[in-house]
Amino acid sequence: MTEAATDAPMIRMVEVDKFFGQLHVLKNINIEVPRGQVVVVLGPSGSGKSTLCRSINRLEPINSGLIEIDGKPLPAEGKELATLRADVGMVFQSFNLFAHKTILDNVMLAPVKVRKMAQPEAKRTAMELLERVGIANQAQKYPAQLSGGQQQRAAIARALAMKPKVMLFDEPTSALDPEMINEVLDVMTTLAEEGMTMLVVTHEMGFARNAAHRVVFMADGEIVEDSVPTEFFSAPKSNRAKDFLGKILTH
Ligand SMILES: Nc1ncnc2c1ncn2[C@@H]1O[C@H](COP(=O)(O)OP(=O)(O)OP(=O)(O)O)[C@@H](O)[C@H]1O
Ligand SMILES: [Mg+2]
């Protein structure tokens, strides 16, 4: 790590714009996430939350603006992009595990292929991570043999196996049955407490209140509010946030 990178925000987006054809989905996005901070992104469907996440590890290219991870601009392509992606772990709503590989192999795969980690070390690390997310006893099973909550915890372990600097979560519990949501949120809360820098799109208001340092509220491709959770939930400034909270909190 260079000296310069140490003080830089872990995620920095400056005047980022993104279009899908005519549709302006990210409008002049400016955000800095310091090292160790947990940011929850809220907002109505279609407001651009997933696109924001996906642009941060360049699953979606942006049209203009700047994105930096740990002080370094996002490379456009090639080997540098692969290295940067390895620094940014991502967990999606759908677990995206390789169906024909065991849970252990799923977690070992990227460290061996991308980080060129030796098999024994990769296995040891993978087992430690599976232990940490509470599914070490499922290591030899295939994804379809696990519950949704267990699969999502495996997906988190797989992302962590790359030793990322940042973790992005896009609605990680939305596809889960209610009884499995907490086991995934518990893992995420522990990660947050351990100091991982996290950007989390979620509708879990308990997590937003308890684990987030900051809430970013998006509407129509814009960041409308950016405040601490207590402030956002008790005194939202914009009508759009008030409307959103009114709908979501009466569920
Ligand atoms: N690949 C795509 N091609 C064209 N339009 C897209 C594409 N992906 C997203 N969009 C549009 O961009 C806008 C933002 O979508 P995005 O998925 O980022 O919203 P979101 O806030 O994550 O919504 P949700 O809460 O439903 O997941 C929406 O209008 C969506 O229809
Ligand atoms: Mg989305």
For the stretch 105-162, pLDDT in tens is 999 999 999 889 999 999 999 999 999 999 999 999 999 999 999 999 999 999 999 9
Position 163 scores a pLDDT of: 93
Rounded Cα gap, residues 179 and 120, in angstroms: 35
How large is the angle between the packed helices 103-113 and 119-132, nearest 10 degrees? 130
Is the beta carbon of 98 within 6 A of some atom in ligand 1? no
Q: Is the pLDDT of residue 5 over 60?
A: no
The number of the ligand nearest the C-alpha atom of 170 reads: 2
Work out the end-to-end distance of the chain between its first and last CA atoms, rounded to an integer number of angstroms: 46
Position 148 scores a pLDDT of: 94
Q: Is the pLDDT of residue 77 over 80?
A: no
Token digits for 168? 């992005």
110 residue type, one letter? A
pLDDT classification of 173: cutoffs 50, 70, 90: very high
Query: Is 57 in a helix, a strand, or coil?
Result: coil
Question: Which candidate, 178, 240, 165, places its Cα nearest to that of 206?
Answer: 178
Best-predicted range by mean pLDDT among 2-11, 90-99, 128-137, 241-250?
128-137
Q: Is the pLDDT of residue 76 over 90?
A: no
Lowest mean pLDDT among 12-16, 177-181, 245-249: 245-249
Rounded Cα gap, residues 125 and 87, in angstroms: 17
Q: What percent of the chain has pLDDT over 90?
A: 83
C-alpha 167 chain-centroid distance: 4
Question: Which candidate, 193, 184, 176, places its Cα nearest to that of 159?
Answer: 184
DSSP assignment letter at 13:
E
Position 251 scores a pLDDT of: 56
Mean pLDDT (the chain, rounded): 93
Position 81 scores a pLDDT of: 81
Q: What percent of the chain has pLDDT over 70?
A: 97
Are 176 and 152 within 8 A, CB to CB?
yes
Q: 88-91 and 72-73 as β-strands: parallel, antiparallel, unpaired?
A: unpaired
For ligand 1, atom 13, name the residue with the nearest CA: 46
Pocket test of ligand 1: the residue of 23, 173, 201, 217 to mutate, having most ligand atoms within 8 Å of its CB, is: 23
Rounded Cα gap, residues 129 and 167, in angstroms: 15
Beta bridge partners of 16: 29
For 191, phi and psi rounded to 5 degrees?
Answer: -55, -45
Domain limits of the chain? 11-249
Question: How many CB atoms lie under 10 A from the CB of residue 113?
Answer: 10
Mean pLDDT of 89-95: 90
Is the beta carbon of 102 within 6 A of some atom in ligand 1? no
Are 145 and 104 within 8 A, CB to CB?
no
Question: Which candidate, 162, 163, 157, 181, places its Cα nearest to that of 171?
Answer: 181
Q: Assess if CATH 3.40.50.300 describes domain 11-249.
A: yes
Q: State the closest ligand 1 atom to the C-alpha of 221, by its place in the atom list counted from 1.
A: 14
